[in-house]
Amino acid sequence: MKISNFKFQISKQGFTLIEILIVISIIGILAVALTSSLNPIFQIKKGADGGRKNDLRQYQIALENYANNNSGVYPVSTAIVTAKSLCNTGSPPPLQSYMSGCVDDTKTPGNYKYISNSTGLIWVLWAQLDASSNQYWVICSIGKSGLWTSTSPPSSSNCPI
């Protein structure tokens, strides 16, 4: 049996500590720059506003279905009420059978508002948005919907957009 002499070679390939630290520093700087440019808080607010727009769209569909079954007349409320009250107020509540569950703003309960004229022929539905101050998402019975900028919310059934 022959015993051979193995020589261990130390490899000089790889990275030095300083090279690794430089790469980590560059990655850190890029991460900070990217995070600050994306503004994550603003992005979260925009996401919540998208949910609000979707919720108001559900109410719009329920209101249209209600009017289709009631000779074109919408629920009458000449005072501003929460949209959710259309599902749980009245005898019977107007929208109870037109929505599987009446949604509400998870951050600001009661943020979805509704008003109609005295005949129930026109209405306005809105919610205040988070991403920008003094901005409301408005949906009107005449088919318009969009962003409305004002220091105060809509106060009548006339479409402000």
Is residue 79 a part of any domain in this protein? yes
pTM: 0.76
Would you say residue 58 has pLDDT above 90? yes
Is residue 157 a part of any domain in this protein? no
State phi, psi for 119 to the nearest 5 degrees: -95, -10
Would you say residue 132 has pLDDT above 90? no
Counting the structural domains of the chain, the total is: 1
Is residue 9 a part of any domain in this protein? no
Give the position of tokens 């994550």.
40
What secondary structure does DSSP assign to 23-75, as a single string? HHHHHHHHHHHHHHHH-HHHHHHHHHHHHHHHHHHHHHHHHHHHHHTTTTPPP
What is the distance between the alpha carbons of residues 50 and 2, in angstroms, rounded to a whole number?
A: 78
What is the distance between the alpha carbons of residues 138 and 146, in angstroms, rounded to a whole number?
A: 6
Burial of 93 (0-12, 13-18, 19+ CB in 10 A): middle
Is residue 143 a part of any domain in this protein? yes
pLDDT digits (tens, 9 = 90+) for 1-57: 566 555 656 566 788 899 999 999 999 999 988 877 778 888 889 999 999 999 999
Confidence band for 112, pLDDT divided at 50, 70 and 90? very high
Is residue 100 a part of any domain in this protein? yes
Amino acid code (one letter) for 95:
L
Angle at 30 between CA 25 and CA 35, to 5 degrees: 125
Using DSSP, how many helices (H) and how many strands (E) does the chain show? 3, 5
Is residue 30 a part of any domain in this protein? no
Residue 72: C-alpha distances to residues 104, 113, 119 (Å): 25, 21, 10
Q: Domain residues for 55?
A: 41-149
